[in-house]
Structure 1
Amino acid sequence: MIRGIRGAITVTSDSEHEILDATEELLIEIIKENQLDAEQVAQALITVTNDITSTFPAVALRRFPGWSYVPVTCAQEIPVAGSLPLCIRFLLTVNSDKKQADIKHIYLREAKKLRPDLSLTRESQSS
């Protein structure tokens, strides 16, 4: 089966260091919670809000062993008025035998506001 894994995280400022560290933090959680291996990942789409311009978050993925062959694209989110600022979002397309309901979508920091239904489910499962 092909599944999508979503995730998002926020940063407090548009700095290369913070963007790469936050991207790495999000990917670590996605990998851990979904027992994911790079060989399962068909592609990664990363979007950022228009206030993130210091670096490509995809650079952080290259720090992970085996992820250098995963196709990655970075794009800008639609700048909707009132949307969550300084946000990095992931959509990973993966090969998995898991049911859709068993995929763990990860929302960290202020990004928990984007999908409180999934964030609450995730938090209650890890308690």
Structure 2
Amino acid sequence: MVRGIRGAITIDANTDKEITEASSELIQVLIEQNQIDPDTVAQVLFTVTEDVTAAFPAKVLREFPGWSLVPVVCAQEIPVPGSLPMCIRVLITVNTEVKQDQIAHAYLRDAIKLRPDLTLTNGQ
């Protein structure tokens, strides 16, 4: 079964350090909560709002053991007026037998506003 694991996090400043640290935190939470084995991952898609330009969030996956061969892409989101600023989103496509309602999505910091109904982390 192929499932999508979603997450998002906001940053305070458009810097390489902020983007890298926030992306790493988000990925770490998703890996731990869902016990993701990189061999089961088909792809990882990162998107960012138009005000996040200092670094590619995807580069953090190089730091996680076993993740260097997983296909990863970054994209900029459609700049919809009134959307949540300074936001990094991720979608991990994984092969799993876990039921849809048992997937642990993570919306951290101000990103909890995006999908408070989905997050199991309660905005950590």
Instruction: With the length of structure 1 as denominator, give the TM-score of the two structures.
Output: 0.94
What residue in structure 1 maps to residue 65 of structure 2? 65
Q: Is there any run of 5+ residues in structure 1 with no aligned partner, and where?
A: none
Residue 102 of structure 1 pairs with residue 102 of structure 2: yes
Partners of 2:9 and 2:121 in 1: CA distance? 15
Alignment map for 1:1-127 (pairs within 5 Å): 1-119=1-119, 122-123=120-121
Q: What per-residue deviation string (whole Å, max 9, x for no partner) do you get for residues 78-97 of structure 1?
A: 10000000000001100001
The Cα of 1:116 is off from its aligned counterpart by 1.0
Q: What per-residue deviation string (whole Å, max 9, x for no partner) do you get for residues 10-43 of structure 1?
A: 0000000010000000000000110111111100
The Cα of 1:107 is off from its aligned counterpart by 0.4
Q: Is there any run of 5+ residues in structure 2 with no aligned partner, and where?
A: none
Q: Identity of counterpart residues, as a percentage?
A: 59
Partners of 1:116 and 1:76 in 2: CA distance? 23
Q: What per-residue deviation string (whole Å, max 9, x for no partner) do you get for residues 45-81 of structure 1?
A: 0000000110100111111010100000000011000
Partners of 1:19 and 1:123 in 2: CA distance? 20
Structure 1 or 2: more helix by fraction: 1
Instruction: With the length of structure 2 as denominator, give the TM-score of the two structures.
Output: 0.96
- Number of equivalent positions: 122
Q: Provide runs of 4+ in structure 1 moved above 2 Å.
A: none
